Structure 1
């Protein structure tokens, strides 16, 4: 295991997935900690995967917003492609929800407001995230939201390119918009739908769609009615329920036209009065909690223990510590694809790993 990449010292492993590993690093020249995303060696020779990996860095580097994790550097070291990001002291919204179940309405509204501001910046630059979910929203120790993982972001200029070709899609079932599930054109309103599902989950402690299979989730997104949030949480007021309903409308034309409209609508809600911070304290891991400005601990300068090899996309590895990253693909021939086509869902690829009877969600 390497103890450095370029001029960055490796401090700890933060997580790993289907495309590679994320480390906490230390940049001594600037006396700061960073997050380093490294493409798996097993995928380094796959040019399409490498292109998508680097596209995440390029997409994020083009965006300058306090609610989007910033990119510092893209490089290669001894054949390993990597990029360096802002290190966020905090935890993902997904982790927070697993621990706390749900948030208070004012907390949830502020998460959505901050995320909408970040997405508005991305959309203005022609970048559609396409994988908005709790796991990709970081809650900082100061109560701010940072959007992460633009690995499958769609740039408007990429519509004709191979990575976004017709018949392929990437994302996470349950958060995908109906137009994604149906293989229809996608724009910024698709991110608004996904963000609406996140709001529903924060308010109720559950997803609106309950099927256990990826295909079933996609079919529910297209066909099923979303439960009334106020029947599941009577603390939700009518105005917040109205905003949520507009975000998750099945027809994109019935949603907010853009995140600027969404943020403006939310800003008028009394729940947004006062400080914009979320008011929740994230649980900071030992690896993440190192005080910025301190020297790299001696223990972190020693070689890290050998970890489970990063699996290739499509494999399931019981020892993998973190959820897999999204990988573009298609259903093969067979009953699943026929059922999908019968329902009008084309080009589906569940962002889950399946091995035998075991399904592991992101």
Structure 2
């Protein structure tokens, strides 16, 4: 049979409620095409208008993942639509043969189908019937979205040409908002795509029941079972995104464009994002002359530290110029400081050095010409200088003459006075 004087019908490749699809050959351009004929005995009064709408809708789209419309006309009272021919099977037939597909293949299908939907949505077109039978595979395995027969324009709610109160679409893939009778939007197609991907992975739709009404209730109220709980080996990132496509509220779902880019970029594999290199938390060197020698507190100048100087503990929170340093909590800093003060060998050494210098200063003052012990005999023994906190011992240095400090010519009289005083004190105690 020759249609429009150029399209010769060959074999039937599909049949639907409104029409049948034939494999045909375009004798004018010498290529294989698909011809969709409206059934002559179709009793639906809107079928002709819907058929024309499909031609007008798909004719506005030109994309590798959308079945292109090539021609439209009427032959002997029957409308026909000429389209690109997808040489492969539909996903419905693939599922019937394979049962389910690998995550790698499903991710590729998701990226291509979402890209085709994104183009339609950007043209103001909602498909409204995304299901396995309407996604076709080309000879090279790429996906093409077909059958825009019940599509509608977003800015023209009346263009769907359906009966009042009728829910158009397949219940297994119907979005919750459509189950409530609300108009379909781009997010509705995304939900249907999520149902399709779920079935491709698990071999079954996310919700199934004995009746269409029960399935609609599941879409509204039931959370889908995560595919991994059904034994499907799936990266967590893929599963989480898939469940996001099946969100109950339209605003919680990603757009078709976002979905296409996410799958095309390979994010479904769950590869970790590269992190910036962490700055090394090495303590900066400080000069030996730093006060206390062990802890460089706020405002300590460490710029002049000589190479090879002893390493000291300087915490990032106290050194404001250290790049990449993280603040340490105050309670933690105080604990670390206490540990450093009590454990550091440098603290003990510096404390001992302070005691030594103090003793040396006292000795020099004691034996200076202006403060002779002969002129001012001591009445009490000299007080011992208290060591700095943390010092292990008090250091004393004898004078160069070999005499101990305080052993002058008047030591004997001073000693006697001291002894007598002690006895008197003892007598008083006895009397008491």
Instruction: Please state whether the residue corresponding to 2:214 is helix, strand or coil.
Output: helix
Q: Offset of 1:162 from its aligned partner?
A: 6.9
Aligned to 1:32: 31
Distance, in Å, in 2 between the alignment partners of 1:151 and 1:183 is 19
1:192-203 → structure 2 map (5 Å cutoff): 192-203=190-201
Instruction: Please state whether the residue corresponding to 2:101 is helix, strand or coil.
Output: coil
Which runs of no fewer than 5 residues in structure 1 stay unpaired?
Answer: 274-362
Aligned to 1:352: none
Aligned to 1:23: 22
Contact 2:237 / 2:268 at 8 angstroms: preserved in 1? no
Aligned to 1:268: 265
1:140-289 → structure 2 map (5 Å cutoff): 140-161=138-159, 163=161, 167-256=165-254, 258-269=255-266
Distance, in Å, in 2 between the alignment partners of 1:162 and 1:97 is 29
For CA contacts below 8 A with separation 6 or more, give which structure has more relative contact order.
1
Distance, in Å, in 2 between the alignment partners of 1:246 and 1:199 is 12
Structure 1 runs (4+) greater than 6 angstroms displaced: none
Per the normalisation by structure 1, the TM-score is 0.71
Does residue 57 in structure 1 map to residue 55 in structure 2? Answer: yes
> Paired residue for 1:96, among 94, 97, 118?
94
Instruction: Please state whether the residue corresponding to 1:68 is helix, strand or coil.
Output: coil
Q: Which structure's CA Rg is the greater one?
A: 2
Q: Offset of 1:42 from its aligned partner?
A: 1.6
Instruction: Please state whether the residue corresponding to 1:90 is helix, strand or coil.
Output: coil
Per the normalisation by structure 2, the TM-score is 0.60
Q: Offset of 1:160 from its aligned partner?
A: 3.6
Q: Offset of 1:211 from its aligned partner?
A: 0.1
Contact 2:92 / 2:132 at 8 angstroms: preserved in 1? yes
Distance, in Å, in 1 between the alignment partners of 2:267 and 2:249 is 28
Tell me whether 202-211 or 96-105 shows the greater mean CA deviation.
Answer: 202-211
Contact 1:136 / 1:147 at 8 angstroms: preserved in 2? yes
Aligned to 1:87: 85
CA spacing shift, 1:234–1:34, aligned 2, 3 Å: closer
Instruction: Please state whether the residue corresponding to 1:152 is helix, strand or coil.
Output: coil
Instruction: Please state whether the residue corresponding to 2:71 is helix, strand or coil.
Output: strand
Contact 2:55 / 2:69 at 8 angstroms: preserved in 1? yes
Distance, in Å, in 2 between the alignment partners of 1:19 and 1:166 is 19
Instruction: Please state whether the residue corresponding to 1:87 is helix, strand or coil.
Output: coil
Deviations 1:189-238 (A, max 9, x none): 00000000111111111111120211111111112221011111341011
Aligned length: 269
Root mean square deviation, CA, Å: 1.8
Instruction: Please state whether the residue corresponding to 1:227 is helix, strand or coil.
Output: coil
Instruction: Please state whether the residue corresponding to 1:209 is helix, strand or coil.
Output: coil
Tell me whether 136-145 or 45-54 shows the greater mean CA deviation.
Answer: 45-54
Q: Flag the structure with higher strand content.
A: 1
1:66-145 → structure 2 map (5 Å cutoff): 66-145=64-143
Q: Offset of 1:264 from its aligned partner?
A: 2.1
Instruction: Please state whether the residue corresponding to 2:208 is helix, strand or coil.
Output: coil
Deviations 1:114-137 (A, max 9, x none): 000000000000000010011110
Which runs of no fewer than 5 residues in structure 2 stay unpaired?
Answer: 271-432
Q: Offset of 1:168 from its aligned partner?
A: 2.6
Instruction: Please state whether the residue corresponding to 2:173 is helix, strand or coil.
Output: coil
1:40-55 → structure 2 map (5 Å cutoff): 40-43=39-42, 47-55=45-53
Contact 2:177 / 2:184 at 8 angstroms: preserved in 1? yes
Contact 1:122 / 1:128 at 8 angstroms: preserved in 2? yes
CA spacing shift, 1:34–1:272, aligned 2, 3 Å: farther
